[in-house]
């Protein structure tokens, strides 16, 4: 019988996640590790915050920003807006990574958080 690790209320989503609270594992990786992806704020039409949380290190989040594009042409205004959104996303990411690192440090999971950044 195969058991699938699930997250519980003890493993809440990061406060920026916009998915249904307690959403389950959604990926099985080549090394058989299981994870769930969190999705958060958008910065403009092309940038979305995400993170992957593994069941063997619950609560360890390494947020990153995904770029979505449909090969859209950008005029000067569109390009300037994209640049502004990219700067906003970078500033947000820096703050959230610091918060996530401090949270792991406070709960004795600094090693797991550091490993997730490699
Ligand atoms: Zn989530």
- How far does residue 74's CA lie from ligand 1's centre (Å)? 31
- Locate 64 and state its tokens: 């990153």
- The mean predicted confidence, pLDDT, of the chain is 86
The whole-angstrom separation of Cα 34 and Cα 65 is 21
Q: Give the whole-angstrom CA distance, residue 69 versus residue 101.
A: 30
Give the model's pLDDT for residue 27: 93
**45-98 pLDDT per residue, tens:** 999 999 999 988 888 888 899 999 887 788 999 999 999 999 999 999 999 888
Ligand 1 centroid from CA 15, angstroms? 8
pLDDT of 1 higher than 50: no
Residues around the ion ligand 1 (C-beta < 5 A): 13, 17, 19, 38
Counting residues of the chain whose pLDDT is more than 90, the rounded percentage is 53
**Between 104 and 76, whose confidence is greater?**
76
Report the separation in Å between the CA atom of 39 and the middle of ligand 1, taken as the mean of its atom positions.
6
- Residue 4: its pLDDT value, please? 54
Ligand 1 mean position, distance from CA 12 (Å):
7
Q: Which two tokens stand for residue 13?
A: 């989503």
User: Which residues are 51's β-sheet partners?
Assistant: 38
Distances in Å between the alpha carbon of 118 and those of 10, 32, 115?
26, 19, 5
pLDDT at 71 (0 to 100): 77
By the 8 A CB rule, do 48 and 31 touch?
no
- Between the CA of 78 and the centroid of ligand 1 the distance, in Å, is 30
């Amino acid at each position: 019988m195969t058991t699938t690790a699930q997250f519980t209320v003890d493993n809440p989503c990061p406060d920026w996640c916009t998915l249904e609270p307690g959403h389950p594992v959604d990926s099985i990786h080549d090394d058989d590790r299981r994870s769930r992806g969190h999705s958060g704020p958008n910065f403009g039409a092309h940038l979305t915050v995400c993170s992957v949380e593994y069941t063997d290190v619950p609560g360890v989040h390494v947020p990153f920003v995904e770029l979505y594009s449909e090969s859209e042409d950008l005029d000067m205004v569109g390009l300037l807006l994209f640049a502004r959104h990219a700067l906003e996303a970078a500033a947000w990411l820096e703050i959230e990574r610091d918060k996530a690192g401090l949270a792991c440090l406070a709960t004795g999971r600094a090693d797991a958080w550091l490993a997730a950044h490699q």
